[in-house]
């Protein structure tokens, strides 16, 4: 299923996305803010990731397109029937333009409407204030801090974690 927002199209990744994903996600400044994207990130690795997405191993994943051009990815992985953890990245040339906020808003609505979760979680590395600003816009409440692996850094880093209950999210979207 595709999701359309005022400026973006969220759709399933396809093989033709490999080069753009490798290029954008492979930038160290992008990869180092995710847990699982290595640096460097080859086209072969991106192709393998898309294959795992298409086989259902990665949860729900969308490529984010602006005017037909891939600018990032977002999605979630369910942890039981009651909740999922969100993730997202935007290519560096598209930072600071509100695309992450727009894509995450659509993803939150989709996750609650389609999968009926009771709550969603999300996290960001402590040195990623831009992601903290995106998360704060939706009313997520802080849950704690934990060490998580970061493939690009080859080390563990502190991750700040958050939770958004369904009722709070629905109230937020009604007033937004």
pLDDT of 164 reads 98
pTM of the model: 0.96
CATH architecture entry for 3-175: 3-Layer(aba) Sandwich (3.40)
pLDDT (tens digit, 9 = 90+) per residue, 42-77?
Answer: 999 999 999 999 999 999 999 999 999 999 999 999
- Give the separation between CA 38 and CA 32, rounded to whole angstroms: 8
- Give the separation between CA 35 and CA 52, rounded to whole angstroms: 17
The DSSP bridge partners found for residue 160 are 124, 145
Of residues 117, 55, 145, 128, the one with CA closest to residue 88: 128
Domain coordinates in residue numbering, the chain: 3-175
């Amino acid at each position: 299923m595709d999701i359309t927002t005022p400026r973006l199209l969220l759709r399933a990744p396809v093989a033709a996305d490999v080069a753009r994903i490798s290029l954008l996600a492979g930038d160290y400044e992008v990869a180092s803010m995710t847990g699982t994207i290595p640096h460097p990130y080859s086209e072969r690795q991106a192709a393998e990731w898309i294959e795992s997405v298409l086989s259902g191993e990665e949860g729900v994943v969308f490529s984010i397109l602006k005017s037909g051009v891939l600018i990032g990815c977002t999605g979630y992985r369910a942890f039981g029937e009651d909740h999922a953890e969100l993730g997202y990245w935007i290519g560096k040339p598209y930072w600071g333009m509100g695309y992450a906020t727009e894509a995450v808003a659509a993803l939150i609505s989709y996750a609650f409407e389609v999968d009926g979760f009771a709550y969603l979680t999300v996290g960001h590395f402590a040195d990623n204030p831009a992601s903290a600003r995106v998360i704060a816009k939706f009313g997520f409440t802080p849950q704690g801090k934990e060490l998580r692996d970061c493939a690009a850094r080859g080390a563990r880093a502190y991750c700040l974690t958050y939770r958004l209950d369904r009722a709070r999210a629905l109230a937020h979207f009604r007033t937004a």
